[in-house]
Amino acid sequence: MARVHFFGGTSLWHYKPALGRQVKGKVLYIKVSQKNYVKRLFITLIAGWFLLVLNPAAAQSSNDIGLTQAERDYLKAKKVVRVCVDPDRLPFDGVDEDRQHTGLSKDYFDIFSRMLGVEMVVPEVQDWNDLISKAKSRECDVVSQINASEKRKSFLDFTTPYFYLPLAVVTRYDRIFVEESLEGAGTQFAVIKGDIAIDKLRNRYPSIVLVEVKNNIQAMELVYDGKVFGYIGAQGAVAFAIQSLNLNKLAVTGSLPLRYELSVATRNDEPLLGSAFEKAILHLDPKEGQSIRDKWIAITIEKVADYTLLWLTLLVLGTVLVVSLYWNHYLAQANRKIRDTLNDLHNVQAQLKDQNRMFKRQSITDALTGIYNRLKLDEDLSYAVKRSERTKSEFSIILLDIDNFKQVNDRFGHLVGDELLKAFSSLLVSAIRKSDIVGRWGGEEFLIICPDTDLQGCGKLAEQLRKRIAEHEFPGKKVLNASLGVAVHQQEEKTDIMIARVDKALYRAKKLGRNRVETG
């Protein structure tokens, strides 16, 4: 756990990575002598000033988001909005030990509170089922993060989604996950009871065997004990749960072409509340939203009360009052020490920026091959769809899978398989155009996004790539072949539909004999 500790204030702040296992036990200290209380006081004040600079969102004022007079009158009369929060879905949603709202959604709702000019309070909720029950009985005005469904629309209105989460799969290290195993004989996967993802999974994988559990802790324990093959949940949230529970045998070993589309839901008997939240979401600053996502997905910031420092600070203040007549004598020396401390703080801030850049790079990079991972590909694909709709330009994608790669692992072992995956990734990077984006989709599958490319052009590129792979000599004089599916984006087509089409094209290439290109 990488931390920076500020000693000398009434609290202790530290930064903790929410994703990745590579950085452990690195602690950056600014330690103040226990003997010099005056210095501790100044460091407390300076550290607080820096924290304010590093969190400018807290100082932002509300802005005009186009509310009608009816909406303004409604909110003025409402005054307080009851926000129901899933207590067990950090880092995205949760409550702390004091029953206060925390997580990524809390930062968004701070912004909504400023925009709408109302106070947000969090009623006590036991679990997700209790949350839905309270929403039905109107004990909640708002649900902070939820997927829309026809059943839920009977008592809730839904805004435009403001956050997207792909589905990830957690297994033990000794089990290899591929998408085909979702419907394997006797294979079971844990899911949270009532999760909207259950319907998505059963629609895409009709034969899947799902074990519904109460929360992610129970799900992780079932996976850890080998009672189920894996756990399917929100990417980022499952990684956070693995680290929080310190389950070293578990890892996120795959992801699925499905995702949560999280909206704010409001009680549908007060439509003005829903229309006001819709306007707040549409007026979110994209940079502020990205800052919130970077904060909670790359690092989690925790505030830990340190009452010893509080008492010491009070003692410092009392001492300063008693010896104030002698202060001028030591002023020059104190100023010099303050300058030294400021320099130390600047150095630590620079190191924190470097660490944050590293965490962000790790969060979008596949650990084995060094190319983009599924999370980054999902973001780039969503951007490509929006750009295509805005500019009316075409783009295409290629989904390719190494043929019979399981036989390579079975015959030569996973170490050889890993080396071949690295070499295969390097070949793809060297073979594509500068404008193309390539990443590991999962297992031995790779995805290439080709901007400003129609179906015919992308098909030619895929065929050239297929030939180059077949003619390439990989480490150990091994020869690999690949099957490729190609699809062009159609106007107003969502990403999951496009992925489903190219996935079917890849499956057709496999079925027709492998080592070929098919279009979808």
Residue 455: inside a domain: yes
- Type of residue at 152: R
Q: Are residues 74 and 210 in the same domain?
A: no
Residue 369: inside a domain: no
Give pLDDT, residue 310.
61
Give pLDDT, residue 17.
35
Instruction: Supply the mean pLDDT for the chain.
Output: 82
Most confident residue range from 87-96, 155-164, 235-244: 155-164
Give pLDDT, residue 265.
95
Q: Are residues 276 and 379 in the same domain?
A: no
Give pLDDT, residue 356.
67
Residue 255: inside a domain: no
More confident residue, 31 or 123: 123
Residue 395 and residue 387: Cα distance in Å, rounded?
9
Mean pLDDT of 229-257: 79
Give pLDDT, residue 472.
95
Residue 254: inside a domain: no
**50 HSE (CA, 13 A, CB side):** 20
Q: Are residues 115 and 154 in the same domain?
A: yes
**Residue 286 burial (10 A CB sphere; 0-12, 13-18, 19+):** exposed
Residue 79 and residue 143: Cα distance in Å, rounded?
17
Give pLDDT, residue 268.
96
Q: Are residues 98 and 13 in the same domain?
A: no
Question: Coil, helix or strand for 35?
Answer: coil
Q: Are residues 500 and 472 in the same domain?
A: yes
CATH number for the domain including 393? 3.30.70.270
Per-residue confidence band for 117, with pLDDT thresholds at 50, 70 and 90: very high
Mean pLDDT of 34-40: 47
Mean pLDDT of 21-44: 40
Q: Are residues 223 and 338 in the same domain?
A: no
Query: Could you tell me the residue range of the domain that residue 511 belongs to?
Result: 374-519
Q: Tokens representing 371?
A: 């190319």
- The percentage of residues in the chain with a pLDDT greater than 70, rounded to a whole number, is 83
Q: Tokens representing 14?
A: 């530290």
Residue 327: inside a domain: yes
Give pLDDT, residue 365.
93
* pTM reported for the whole predicted model: 0.43
Q: Are residues 225 and 327 in the same domain?
A: no
Helix, strand, coil shares, percent, the chain, to 5: 50, 25, 30
Res. 30: pLDDT tops 80: no
Sequence-distant (≥ 6) Cβ neighbours of residue 392 within 8 angstroms: 491
The per-residue pLDDT for range 407-461, each reduced to its tens digit, is 999 999 999 999 999 999 999 999 999 999 999 999 999 999 999 999 999 999 9
The residue among 413, 428, 520, 432 whose CA lies nearest residue 482 is: 428
Q: Are residues 39 and 184 in the same domain?
A: no
Mean pLDDT of 134-141: 95
- The percentage of residues in the chain with a pLDDT greater than 90, rounded to a whole number, is 50
Any idea which residue has 């939820």 for tokens? 146
Per-residue confidence band for 128, with pLDDT thresholds at 50, 70 and 90: confident
Span of 77-86, 176-185, 198-207, 459-468 with lowest mean pLDDT:
176-185
Res. 384: pLDDT tops 60: yes
Res. 10: pLDDT tops 50: no
The total of structural domains in the chain comes to 4
> Angle, to 10 degrees, between the axis of helix 327-363 and the axis of helix 37-54?
40
Instruction: Give the other-Cβ count within 10 Å of 353's Cβ.
Output: 10
Residue 24: inside a domain: yes
Q: Are residues 359 and 378 in the same domain?
A: no
Q: Are residues 128 and 193 in the same domain?
A: no
Most confident residue range from 134-143, 191-200, 287-296, 303-312: 134-143
411-432: b (≥16 Cβ within 10 Å) or e: eeeeeebebbbbbbbebbeebb
Give pLDDT, residue 61.
41
Residue 430 and residue 280: Cα distance in Å, rounded?
45
Span of 43-52, 166-175, 448-457 with lowest mean pLDDT:
43-52
Give pLDDT, residue 308.
57
- Type of residue at 436: D
Q: Tokens representing 13?
A: 């702040």
Q: Are residues 438 and 502 in the same domain?
A: yes
CATH number for the domain including 186? 3.40.190.10
Question: Which whole-number Å values give the CA distances from 257 to 200, 219, 223, 479, in the listed order?
Answer: 10, 21, 22, 29
Residue 68: inside a domain: yes
Q: Are residues 100 and 229 in the same domain?
A: no
The per-residue pLDDT for range 459-508, each reduced to its tens digit, is 999 999 999 999 999 998 899 999 999 999 998 899 999 999 999 999 99
Residues comprising the chain, all counted:
520
Span of 133-147, 149-163, 182-196 with lowest mean pLDDT:
182-196
Residue 257: inside a domain: no
